[in-house]
Structure 1
Amino acid sequence: MSELSHLRLMAGYNTWMNQKLYDAAATLPPGELAADRGAFFGSLLGTLNHLVAADTIWLRRFTAHPARFDALEAALALAQPGALNAVYSDDLATLTRHRRMLDGVISAFAAELADRDLEHVLHYASTKGVASQKRFGDVLLHFFNHQTHHRGQASTLLSQAGADLGVTDLLMLIENVADRDAPPGSS
C-alpha cells in the first residue's frame, strides 16, 4: 500500500471511529460524559474536546502547504484554539456536529492529496512556540496517530462508564485480498 493510500485509509478510519465514539458517548447521561476519570484531559468530554482542538490546530497548520487544498478552506474559518485543552462545547450534540464537520474536512483533504504533496517541508510552531520543520507526509502520519491514541483513551473512558464501543480495529476497513481478487459475481 502506498503512503498516500495509507493516509486515505487513516482518514476513513478517523471518520468511522469518531462516529462509533460519539454514538457510544450519546448513550451516556451528561454526568458520565463530564465525570473526571483521571484521564489526561480528565473526562470523556475533555478528551473529545482535546481531539477537536488538536485537529483544528493541525488543519489550520496544513493550510500553509503551497498546494492550497480546497478542502482546508473551512479550517481557515475556524477559531484557533488557545490551548490543547480548549473546550468547544460541554454539549455532546454541539460537539458531535463540530466533529462531523472536521471529519468531512479531513476526508476531503485526504482525497485531494497527491504523492508530491507529501514531500513538502512544513514549517510550523508548536502550541508552546517551538519552531519545527518536518516532512508533510510524516506530520500527517502523526496527525492520524494522535487521533488513534486519544480515541484509545476515550474508548477506555467509555468502558469505565459502562458503554460498549464495539470493534475498533483498523483491520475492519482493510480490504480482504480474497474479495478483491475474486471474479465479478462470485461473491
Structure 2
Amino acid sequence: MIDTAYAMTMARYNRWQNRQLLGFLELQPAGELVLERGAFFGSILKTLSHLCWGDHIWLSRFDGGSGPGIGASESVSYVADLAAWAEMRSRLDARIAAWAAGLTDAELRGTLTWYSGAAGREVSKPLSLLVVHFFNHQTHHRGQVHAMLTATGSKAPVSDLFLMPDDA
C-alpha cells in the first residue's frame, strides 16, 4: 500500500505545515484562538489540542513510547494555550520524523494490534493503513484550522504538498 518513503515524506510535510501554521497563529489575538466557531471541536485551540493528542496516542502505538495519559474525551484540553501547543507540536513533530526514519517496509506490511478506547475492544489492522490514517487525520484537522483561520480574516498556510520546499 505504502512504503517508508511515503512515511518520511508525510513526516516532513507535517512538520512544514505545523511550522507555517504557527506563524499565522502567532499573529492572532488570543481571543481568536479560543472563540467557539461551530467546528467539530469548537475552536482553533481545541482543534489543535485534539490533533496533538491524536498524534501522541498514535505515536505511542507505533513506536511504543509514551502516550498522552488522557482519553479522547479530554483531547480538547490537552494543550492549554498557543505556547503549550507550539512546544508540544515541536516535540511531536521531531518524534514523528524519528519514527518515520526508522520505519521499515517489512513493518509496514505487518499488522498492529492495540486496545482501542473508542471501539472499547482490541483492534488489529494493517500498519500501512494506520499510517495513512495517521497522516490523513493530521491533514483533516489542519484543514479545519485553515478554514477557521480564514474566517478570522487571516491568511492561512499554503498546504499543497507539491509546493513543499526540499529543505522542509
Q: Which residue of 1 aligns with 2:69?
A: 80
Structure 1 residue 43: deviation in Å?
Answer: 0.3
Higher mean C-alpha displacement, 18-27 vs 46-55: 18-27
Distance 1:163 1:130 in 2: 42
2:137 counterpart of 1:146: yes
Structure 1 match to 2:50 = 50
Aligned-pair distance for 1:110?
0.5
* Amino acid aligned to 2:51: L
Say which of 134, 137, 141 aligns to 2:128.
137
Distance, in Å, in 2 between the alignment partners of 1:81 and 1:18 is 23
Give the equivalent residue in structure 2 for 1:170: 161
2:98 corresponds to which residue? 108
Gaps of 5+ in 1: 65-74, 176-187
Report deviation, 1:159. 0.6
Identity %: 40
Native 8 Å contact 1:56 1:81 kept in 2: no
CA 1:58–1:155 in 2, change beyond 3 Å: closer, same or farther?
Answer: same
Q: Across the two proteins, how many residue pairs are aligned to each other?
A: 163
* TM-score normalised to structure 1 length: 0.81
CA RMSD of aligned residues (A): 1.7
Structure of greater Rg: 1
Deviations 1:104-142 (A, max 9, x none): 000111011111110121001223223221111111011
Name 2:40's counterpart in structure 1.
40
Which residue is 1:28 aligned to? 28
Deviation >4 Å, runs of 4+:
none
Select which of 83, 100, 121 maps to 1:93: 83
Task: Provide the residue aligned with 1:60 in structure 2.
Answer: 60
Report the TM-score when normalising by structure 2.
Answer: 0.90
